Each structure stands twice: as C-alpha cells, then as structure tokens.
C-alpha cells in the first residue's frame, strides 16, 4: 500500500509516499480501505522531532473509509460498512489503515467530514470528562473556534453547561452559531469575561495554549478547575493538569458524535482537502494557520 512517511526530521519536504506491506486487523480491530484521513498539529510536531524519536515514521491516527477486513472477535460491524475511527499504529494516512476504535459514519456525512471527527471529539470529550463538566456548570473554553474547541463547545452544551468561548472577533458569529457566548482574547480578556460572569467561571479548558493559564486559574478559582491540552510548560509551571490520552481515552465520543450529527446537534467543518500525494502541502498550509477548519487528505 501507499503511505505517508518520513525518514528524517524536518520541514514538510521530508514527507514522502512509499510502498509498505499491507497491515492486517488484529483481535478487536478492523481494517479499512481509507477514503479520507485527518491531519492534526501533532502530525507536524511529530515530523519535526518533537515527539517520537524513532525513524522512519509513518503518519496519521484518524481515518474514514470502508471496512475490508475484520479482526478476530469483531461482531458489531461487517465488511463493506462505512466507518470512521482512531488507529493505534500511527499509519492512517495510507491506502489501508487498522482502526482500534470506530463508529458508523452518519448517512448524511461524507468521508472527509467523518475523517475530521475522531481526534477532535475524543480529545474534547476526554478533557470535559476530566474537568467534570456537567449540567449547570459554566465552562470557559480558550480557543473555542478550532476543531477541538468547536467540538468541546458543542459537547459541553449537550451536557447542559453554559459555555463562554474565546476567539478573535472574526470567529464570534461562528461561536454564537455553535451556542457559545463569545469573548475576544488578548489584553483585557479577564475583564471582559468578568463583565459576563462577575463571580467567574466554574471550569476552564485551554485549547489554544496561548499563555493565559494564570488568567484561567484566576477566573475558575484555582488550578484544580483548569485543564490544558496545549500548554505543557505552562501546566507544569502553574500546577494545571495537562490532558493526555495515556491516562484513558474517551472513545465513546465517536459514537456520540455520530448520533448527534444524525440529529443535527453537532457539526465540525472541513477547512480544506488535499490528495494524499500532496501531504507535504497540507502540512505547509496547516502550520501556517491559513485555513480555519480541519485539513483532510482524500484517497480514492
């Protein structure tokens, strides 16, 4: 199969398409013929050598496609089903991918839209779980207009929370459409939020990693009420929990998102698509922050 890979760390130019042996589904896994694969910021961090140090490395953890092989013990889906999900092998940007966790693609959603979901909804749901966001709580989401932030806004609202979301003024109509109360980030942000909620918020989730953990702690009444998914150094310095998947993943969120999409209560926009052969260009666009919405590679 064709797959995206790099043999040395560096810029997008180190990415290449190579022929690799076809993977096969193990116990509890499925294999899909990939039709679309999501791209995340972690992909270029990995390519830059900021994560795993082994070489060579393949790319991608989320994909959507058509099941063509079932592993032992899999009985909830059949060959030919359309599914999206997460694979533990880190090689989802390829013609074939093995998925560990998956859910059916809603009937009205195409493969690109489905491939945009897994990482964003799992990360958002995990962070909300760790914060304890529930009915009646007021949660501040810093960086609410990106893929993970948008997912967190919608999932928090489903739980019955009030959501205040930070973003640039250009994103405020979008955030209102999701159901959040928008507020501009930058100088004076704390005062603007205090004007909305004089007693502060119950909980805060930092998606943007924009160096505002001290302000979030003050607004939420303590570091124990704040979680970040983007500011590892700040979490260490301020005693804030850094959410990571190795402490347990919210894989239930895949099926939840599919159900919510089916009932018109959840959406996640695709910003731009690229053929698999243009994976390096997709990285350039993603790193430059030129497109709002998820970047997706298309195959077939």
What pLDDT is stored for residue 99 in this prediction? 97
Q: What confidence category does residue 113 fall into, taking pLDDT thresholds of 50, 70 and 90?
A: very high
In a domain, 112, yes or no: yes
Residues 147 and 223 in one domain: yes
What pLDDT is stored for residue 291 in this prediction? 83
Residue 246 burial (CB < 10 Å; 0-12/13-18/19+)? Answer: exposed
What pLDDT is stored for residue 44 in this prediction? 87
In a domain, 51, yes or no: yes
pTM: 0.94
Q: What confidence category does residue 140 fall into, taking pLDDT thresholds of 50, 70 and 90?
A: very high
Residues 129 and 242 in one domain: yes
Mean pLDDT across the chain:
94
What pLDDT is stored for residue 246 in this prediction? 73
Please report, for the domain that includes residue 223, its CATH number: 3.90.180.10
User: pLDDT tens digit string along 32-77?
Assistant: 999 999 999 889 888 998 888 999 999 999 999 999 999 999 999 9
Q: What confidence category does residue 243 fall into, taking pLDDT thresholds of 50, 70 and 90?
A: very high
What pLDDT is stored for residue 300 in this prediction? 76
Domain count, the chain: 2
Q: Which domain holds residue 226?
A: 121-247
In a domain, 64, yes or no: yes
Q: What confidence category does residue 290 fall into, taking pLDDT thresholds of 50, 70 and 90?
A: confident
User: pLDDT tens digit string along 208-229?
Assistant: 988 999 999 999 999 999 999 9
Q: Taking phi first (over 0 means left), then psi (-120 to 50 degrees means alpha), and beta for anything else, what does residue 15 get?
A: beta
In a domain, 264, yes or no: no
User: pLDDT tens digit string along 179-212?
Assistant: 999 999 989 999 999 999 999 999 999 999 889 9
Residues 87 and 72 in one domain: yes
């Amino acid at each position: 199969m064709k797959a995206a890979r790099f043999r040395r760390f560096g810029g997008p130019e180190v990415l290449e398409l190579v022929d690799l042996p076809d993977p096969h589904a193990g116990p509890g896994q499925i294999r899909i013929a990939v039709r679309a694969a999501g791209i995340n910021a972690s992909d270029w961090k990995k390519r830059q050598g900021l994560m795993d140090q082994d070489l060579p490395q393949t790319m991608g953890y989320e994909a959507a496609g058509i099941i063509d092989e079932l592993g032992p013990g899999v009985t909830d889906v059949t060959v030919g089903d359309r599914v999206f999900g997460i694979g533990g092998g880190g090689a989802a940007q390829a013609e074939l991918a093995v998925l560990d966790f998956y859910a059916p693609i809603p009937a009205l959603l195409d493969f690109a839209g489905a491939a945009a979901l897994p990482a964003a909804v799992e990360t958002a749901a995990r962070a909300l779980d760790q914060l304890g966001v529930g009915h009646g709580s007021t949660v501040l989401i810093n960086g609410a207009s990106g893929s993970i932030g948008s997912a967190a806004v919608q999932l928090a609202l489903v739980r019955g929370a009030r959501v205040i979301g930070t973003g640039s003024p250009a994103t405020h109509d979008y955030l209102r459409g999701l159901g959040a109360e928008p507020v501009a980030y930058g100088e004076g942000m704390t005062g603007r939020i205090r004007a909305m909620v004089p007693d502060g918020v119950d909980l805060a989730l930092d998606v943007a990693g924009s160096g505002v953990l001290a302000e979030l702690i003050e607004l939420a009444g303590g570091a124990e009420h704040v979680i970040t998914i983007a500011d590892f150094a700040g979490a260490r310095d301020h005693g804030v929990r850094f959410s990571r998947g190795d402490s347990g993943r919210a894989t239930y969120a895949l099926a939840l998102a599919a159900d919510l999409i089916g009932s018109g209560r959840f959406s996640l926009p695709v910003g731009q698509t690229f053929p698999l052969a243009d994976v390096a260009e997709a990285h350039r666009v993603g790193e430059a922050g030129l497109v709002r919405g998820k970047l997706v590679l298309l195959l077939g």
